[in-house]
């Protein structure tokens, strides 16, 4: 899908040159590569177990049409130990991609383990009694 986006929109022209020297344009289009060349300070907020990514990218119906994956993706508490290993590997890859942030001045990130997507858009997942908190601090 993203290979088509990169070619149709001809984004190669604006992708980081140092990435293009070693990798295919489509790989350079992904955040794990783009982040390396961003100099503007950013604050990254994402779940390590992003529900949309898990449902649509990591384990799409086309690659796992079986019921055990379906009930796991509906509610992460239904996942068996094998599936949890897959989800943890996904999390570890993502957290590993954020290593580059350690060397960036004035950047920050908040990566939690909620099985959610776009959590700051909704009061229930960002600013409520059940939203993530550090100590007693909430998102607002």
Ligand X SMILES: *[C@@H]1O[C@H](CO)[C@@H](O)[C@H](O)[C@H]1NC(C)=O
Q: Which chain residues interact with ligand X by CB under 6 A? A: 66, 68-69, 80-83
Residue 19: closest CA among 6, 32, 28, 31: 28
Q: How far is the CB of 50 from ligand X (least distance, A)?
A: 19
Q: Which CB, 39 or 67, lies closer to ligand X? A: 67
Does residue 127 contact residue 138 with C-beta atoms inside 8 Å?
yes
Q: Which CB, 64 or 97, lies closer to ligand X? A: 64
What residue spans of 50-80 are helical by DSSP H? 51-53, 67-74
- For the chain, the distance separating the N- and C-terminal CA atoms, rounded to the nearest angstrom, is 35
- The span from the CA of 28 to the CA of 23, in Å, is 7
Q: Which CB, 107 or 115, lies closer to ligand X? A: 115
Q: Which CB, 69 or 126, lies closer to ligand X? A: 69
* Three-class SS state of 48: coil
Q: How far is the CB of 82 from ligand X (least distance, A)?
A: 4
Q: How far is the CB of 47 from ligand X (least distance, A)?
A: 21
Q: How far is the CB of 113 from ligand X (least distance, A)?
A: 20
């Amino acid at each position: 899908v993203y290979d088509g986006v990169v070619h149709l929109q001809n984004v190669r022209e604006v992708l980081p040159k140092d990435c293009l020297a070693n990798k295919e344009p489509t790989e350079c289009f992904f955040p794990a590569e783009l982040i390396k060349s961003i100099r503007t300070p950013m604050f990254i907020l994402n779940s390590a177990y992003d529900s949309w990514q898990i449902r649509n990218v990591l384990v799409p119906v086309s690659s796992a049409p079986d019921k055990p994956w379906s009930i796991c993706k509906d509610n992460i508490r239904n996942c068996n130990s094998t599936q949890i290993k897959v989800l943890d590997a996904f999390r570890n890859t993502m957290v590993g991609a954020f290593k580059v942030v350690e060397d960036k001045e004035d950047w920050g990130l908040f990566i939690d383990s909620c099985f959610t997507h776009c959590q700051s858009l909704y009061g229930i997942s960002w600013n409520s009694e059940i939203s993530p908190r550090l100590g007693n601090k909430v998102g607002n």
